[in-house]
Amino acid sequence: MSDILDSLRDAHETPLSRLGSSKALYAVTGGEMSGDAVRAAAAAEADVATDLFDQWAADDPNDEAAALFSDLADTARAHADTVDADPAANAPNVYGVLDDFDTTDERLGGALARALVSLKTVEQMVGFFIGDADPKTANSFRTLKSDLQDQLDTLADAIDELADDDAVVREAADAVVEAAYDEYVETLEGMGIKPKNVC
């Protein structure tokens, strides 16, 4: 399963491209393209990720996976500290999907997809702060970007080592990417924007 990350990217090439667009950041911030709104969105994601991974670390039946999830929770906590903002009221919808995963295979696939989707958003956030002539904050968000890139590699390796059923891992990963894309489409359509024209 060493190619799961490439396979996931290939299968969702268009949705991931759109999730990595400037319109995706517009959706995440509810149309408020300001530094405060971007930081608030990042803080909300970090907070809910911390809670999710803490829960998985506490109850996952696989000790190695539980330790990995604990590390992910610690990183999310560090991201919340780095962003240093009050979280937005709404967290990404993907966490509703992730909350339902209770097997190690589902959680590994879900965590991989979550890192992939979050990385797309954070890349746009870095670009936003560069464009906003705020290099200090851009550098802070580059830390988040680097951590998420590392998590992709770590999780892909963990899937190779720990997962029992490739199909379960992939189904969970697909569900997370699809949930992220569905929220993107619904949010933009609610603003009167045609997301499918945006690549």
Rg (CA), the chain: 16
Q: How far is CA 69 from CA 7, 109, 119, 166, in A?
A: 23, 12, 18, 19
What is the C-alpha to C-alpha distance for residues 120 and 118, in angstroms, rounded to an integer?
5
Q: Encode pLDDT of 57-95 as tens digits.
A: 999 999 999 999 999 999 999 999 999 999 998 889 999
In this prediction, residue 50 carries a pLDDT of 98
Confidence of residue 179 (pLDDT cuts 50, 70, 90): very high
Q: How many CA atoms lie within 13 A of 35 on its CB side?
A: 14
Residue 197: the pLDDT is 58
How far is it, in rounded angstroms, from Cα 195 to Cα 199? 8
Asked whether the predicted pLDDT for residue 196 surpasses 80, the reply is no
Give pLDDT, residue 194: 84
Is 20's pLDDT higher than 60? yes
Question: What's the pLDDT score for residue 199?
Answer: 43
pLDDT at 1: 44
Q: State percent of the chain over pLDDT 70.
A: 97
Q: Tokens in use for 106?
A: 């589902």
Average pLDDT, stretch 10-22? 95
- Given a cut of 90, is residue 126 above it in pLDDT? yes
- 24-66 pLDDT, tens digit per residue, is 999 999 999 999 999 999 999 999 999 999 999 999 999 999 9
Q: Which amino acid is at 93?
A: N
Q: How many Å separate Cα 129 from the centre of its chain?
A: 19
Q: Mean pLDDT throughout 108-115?
A: 98
pTM (two decimals): 0.95
Sequence-distant (6+) residues with CB within 8 A of 32 are none
